[in-house]
Amino acid sequence: IEVFRKDYQPLPYKVDTIELDIQLEPRKTTITTQMTITSSSQTMTLDGDRDVIQLQQVELNGVLLKEGTDYQVTASALTLFQLPLHTPFQLTTRVTTIPEDNTELSGLYQDSSGMYCTQMEAMGFRRFTYMADRPDQMATFARVRIEADAHQYPILLSNGNLVEQGSCENNTNRHYAIWQDPFPKPTYLFAMVAGNLGVLQDSYTTKSGRHVDLQIFAEPHQTHLLQYAMQSLKRAMQWDEDRYGLEYDLDLYNIVAVDSFNMGAMENKGLNVFNTAYVLADPATATDTDFERVESVIGHEYFHNWTGNRVTCRDWFQLTLKEGLTVFRDQEFSADMNSAAVNRIENVRALRGRQFAEDAGPMAHPIRPESYISMDNFYTATVYSKGAEVIRMYQTILGVEGFNQGLKLYLERHDGQAVTCDDFLQAMADANQDIDLTLFRRWYSTPGTPVVKYRGEWNENGTYQLHLEQETSDGDPLHIPVSVGLLDHATGKEVVSTQVLNLKESQQTFTFSDLAGPVVPSILRTFSAPVKLVPLEKDNESSVLAFLAAHDTDGFNRWEAVQRLYTSLIFHHLPSKEESSSTWNYVEQAFARTLDTCLDNSDYSISAYVLTLPSESTLAEEMDVIDPIGLHQARSTVKQQLARRFQSVLMEKYSALTELLSQTKELKFDATSIGLRRLRNVLLDYLCSLKDTPEECDQAAQWAMNHYQAATGMTDQMAGLSALVSIDNPFRQDALDQFYQQAVGNSLVLNKWFTVQALASTPTSLETIQKLYQHPDFTLKNPNRVRALVGAFTMNAVAFHQPAGYQFLGDVLLEVDALNPQLSSRLASPLLPWRKYVSGPLMKEQLERLLAQPKLSDDLYEIVSRGLKE
Ligand code: ARG
Ligand code: ZN
């Protein structure tokens, strides 16, 4: 059933307190729930999923109720009749469930290691016990008692504070723990864990003197991989105090790492549950990107404590209220911990690669969606990443100080409440009364990526007029902050520093005066709005881009200018397109300049990103008709041309970087060291792209193999190995076998072994992938493993975009859907934009095949039917 935002109704009752008693026994878990409720209606409905939990009994104020007359159970609810009105009563339910059979990983389930854990967001609690499972129902979890076998499950955790623990009197093989959370919370923030776990402990003292114990749990053999997460957590706690004055509010902060998890991590109050991929990291097993991700996800879940937990969402349509805001906060945290410019480039790359595509296809939705069948389908790039861009625009329009004031007011005004995106906007507006945010609200309801077009005009009287136009999905204008600076055309010097132009109309002209001579505009600096920027006049576009690439003071726009140049060069290489020598000349210049100077300053990461061609998904996003194989080849051709043209400089810089990196013995993870590795790996990628002749292949394989063997950490190992597997050469299998041996016992490293092969661009990659699908280490029960192989496969154009590739994905989706619908519906998304692909009809065939299945999950049904909708 489809649920609509406009149909929101408050509940006619309130659950004030809840007490849980959870008895974990093999294949039979019993959950007793006692609620204190006040109702303004005699009839009341609680959510519960009959396929997963079996209702044993219901008591009202201690009196056993009768099914049929006093209550009724349907597939998704428990309805009670003739309840006392306006006076608190106690309702007690008992259910049984088998978490061992819960393959959906929603509700209470068992991890592959055997520990019990929970994931309640968005609607998992109804798979655990009967309750009003919606975020505006906040109850105090006054007592949570967990009982389990003491030897198998020595660690018993839930939210808040531990109030009591001990062994059971009647059976000393069993023990229990009692937890209490002083903060009222919705069901989605409840969590419990029972397992045999190791722990890393530390502590943090807040600025007002609260001593907080920090504990991160993982399987005992993994505890040495928790150091970086702990450091990141302490940095996040400090940062939120420094930047926003926000402190932690309990004496205990627990994190548990679980191997089987559908998403990244979960911000349960005082008990975060993390996908191991976002918490475990050490130099031998994690890449630089893995480290960056651990830091940002640890930060993200911690920041939710204020933006999400203390102030939560009224209904799930408001998800971006907490997610967009918290992603923005984690981005700012990462920017402050590392390099702001590098971070911005990485985030915009991700936005363009995923969110723009989503917004252009059948799953397009505003950051605050209007309807859903399965809410889990709306934990999207749009809600998260575009949502974060919307928050960033507030900051751009209001200024950092104005934004901080608005956030402060929002949190003070709504502490302890479940609110809406409108409440957020209102707080921002009330704290900044001089600025009109009326039009800004439309960002919450407008899907699609707006296009901003521009044209400039220089007048001899010393004025420059910048004409801006906007196109939106509904034709009405949005409030778009456009950051602009002006550079002198003759000298390249900046003559007007960055200012924010508030574009609010369909067409608007902005005038700059008192200029000494003609200027070149640098528009949308730091990517000040999630839009596509297009010149109205394309005459000398490439020369303007080359000028900006050389002179812009804005690091982001310098990078962007080169990306635009690459894009146009790659598009010239598409089948049926002609080569343009002038674009090549500009690219050559920009590439040469970046390469020549890449060791002169410490912005190694920026240089690395400037030298990197736009991804196939970013490029595809700019095409009306996508020929993925042609695109892949065009991009490879440009890469090879650059590699051939600059081979000697690439080699020279590569060696210089090798030299620089070898000067420090131990592996470091500061921005400079990461930048050095990133840059060197980009150069390697160019060098290894030359493989037209057997001699070239030998040479490339030699480079890749040397790089792999000399690697001192996972980043370089992976760079070497992924170059190697795409080259036809004799070392290939040996290196893969060696890497496999290294991965034994470490699930995350094993995932990399699957991924590196799934991404390899070779004529036989699909066969390899299909073989790996049958590998004894492959399992559909672990979402990370499935994404490592199948998710990577769908990003490999050569393997995926062929009839057998589509067929294979269809087969896999059917198999996965029977176990884990959240996973299958996510894996299906590469089929959605079929209308844009030259091979679209074949992609569509798979969607139709899925739709024809009688037992498709709601999640996958929603995605597939949207994909096929006219
Ligand atoms: N709130 C989590 C986060 O930090 C995401 C959990 C989503 N889980 C799900 N099954 N939809 O982003
Ligand atoms: Zn989140």
Of 58, 81, 103, the C-alpha closest to 817 is 103
What share of the chain has pLDDT > 90, as a percent? Answer: 98
Share of the chain above pLDDT 70, in %: 100
> What one-character-per-residue DSSP string does 678-700 give?
HHHHHHHHHHTT--SSHHHHHHH
What is the structure's pLDDT at 579?
Answer: 64
What is the number of the ligand 1 atom nearest to the C-alpha of 384? 12
Alpha-carbon separation of residue 461 from 491, 513, 516, 542 (angstroms): 19, 8, 9, 27
Q: Which one of 104, 108, 121 would you pick to mutate in the ligand 1 pocket, going by the greatest count of ligand atoms within 8 A of its CB?
A: 121
Evaluate if residue 617 carries a pLDDT over 90: yes
Question: Which atom of ligand 1 lies nearest, measured to the CA of 297?
Answer: 4
Long-range contacts of 57-65 (CB under 8 A, 24+ apart): 57/93, 57/94, 58/91, 58/92, 58/93, 58/94, 59/90, 59/91, 59/92, 59/93, 60/89, 60/90, 60/91, 61/89, 61/90, 62/90, 62/92
3-state secondary structure of 403: helix
H/E stretch holding 518 reads none
Mean pLDDT of 436-446: 98
Q: Is 416 left (phi over 0), alpha (psi -120 to 50) or beta?
A: left
In this structure, the chain runs to a length of 870
Q: Answer whether residue 24 shows pLDDT above 70.
A: yes
CA-based angle 450:451:453, to the nearest 5? 150
Q: What angle do CA 41, 97, 785 make, to 5 degrees?
A: 115
Task: Compute the distance between CA of residue 663 and CA of residue 684 in angstroms, rounded to an integer.
Answer: 19
Structure tokens at 290: 């893995």
Q: Which residues line ligand 1 (CB under 6 A)?
A: 119, 121-122, 262-263, 265-267, 300-301, 323, 376, 379, 822
Pocket probe for ligand 1: among 126, 263, 318, 327, the residue whose CB has the most ligand atoms within 8 Å is 263
Q: Phi, psi at residue 473, to the nearest 5°? A: -65, -30
Are 169 and 189 within 8 A, CB to CB? no
- Residue at 298: amino acid letter: I
| Substitution site in 330, 379, 857 for ligand 1 pocket (most atoms within 8 Å of beta carbon) | 379
Helical (H) or strand (E) element with 70: none
pLDDT of 357-370, one tens digit each?
Answer: 999 999 999 999 99
Ligand 1: residue whose CA is nearest its atom 11: 376
d(CA 420, CA 354): 26
Report residue 870's pLDDT band, with 50, 70 and 90 as the boundaries.
confident
* pLDDT tens per residue across span 715-763: 999 999 999 999 999 999 999 999 999 999 999 999 999 999 999 999 9
* Ligand 1 atom having least distance to the Cα of 323: 12
Nearest CA owner, ligand 1 atom 8: 121
pLDDT at 581 over 80: no
What are the C-alpha distances in Å from 487 to residues 453, 511, 512, 520, 591? Answer: 19, 15, 12, 5, 21
Determine the distance separating the centroid of ligand 1 and the alpha carbon of 119, expressed in angstroms.
9
Angle at 322 between CA 397 and CA 254, to 5 degrees: 130
Q: Ligand 1 mean position to 266 CA, how many Å?
A: 6
Atom 2 (ligand 1) nearest CA: 266
Give tens-digit pLDDT for 816-828: 999 999 999 999 9
CA angle 868, 869, 870 (to 5 degrees): 115
Sheet containing strand 198-205, edge to edge, reads 198-205, 211-218, 252-258, 271-275, 265-266
Rounded-to-integer distance, Cα 807 and Cα 240, Å: 48
Residue 5 pLDDT > 90, yes or no?
yes
Q: Would residue 257 be called left, alpha or beta, if left means φ above 0 and alpha means ψ between -120 and 50 degrees? A: beta
Cβ atoms of 825 and 860 closer than 8 Å: yes
Of the ligands numbered here, which is closest to the C-alpha atom of 268?
1
- Dist. CA 323 → ligand 1 center (Å): 9
Q: Among the bound ligands, name the one nearest to the CA of residue 122.
A: 1
Is the pLDDT higher at 640 or at 578?
640
Closest ligand, as measured to the CA of 188: 1
Write phi, then psi, for 104 (nearest 5 degrees): -75, -15
Does position 545 have pLDDT exceeding 90, yes or no? yes
Query: Tokens 């109309």, residue?
Result: 505
State how far the Cα of 784 lies from the Cα of 264, in Å rounded to an integer.
10
- Give how far Cα 254 sits from Cα of 117, 398, 407, 744, Å: 13, 36, 26, 29
Q: In sequence order, what DSSP letters do the residues of 269-306 get, joined into one string?
A: TTEEEEEGGGT---TTT--HHHHHHHHHHHHHHHHTTT
Whole-angstrom distance between the N-terminal and C-terminal Cα of the chain? 20
* pLDDT (0 to 100) of residue 462: 97
The answer to whether the predicted template modeling score (pTM) of the entire model surpasses 0.95 is yes
Distance CA 662, CA 664 (A): 5
Show which residues are catalytic: 301
State the distance from the centre of ligand 1 to the C-alpha of 267, rounded, in angstroms. Answer: 8
Residues in a beta bridge with 371: 4
Mean of per-residue pLDDT scores for the chain: 97
Dist. CA 287 → ligand 2 center (Å): 23
Q: What is the CA(741)–ligand 1 centre distance, in A?
A: 34
CA separation for the pair 604, 339 (Å, rounded): 11
- Lowest-confidence pick of 87-96, 114-123, 471-480, 660-669: 660-669
Q: What is the pLDDT of residue 168?
A: 98
Q: What share of the chain is helix, strand, coil (3-state, %, to 5)?
A: 45, 20, 30
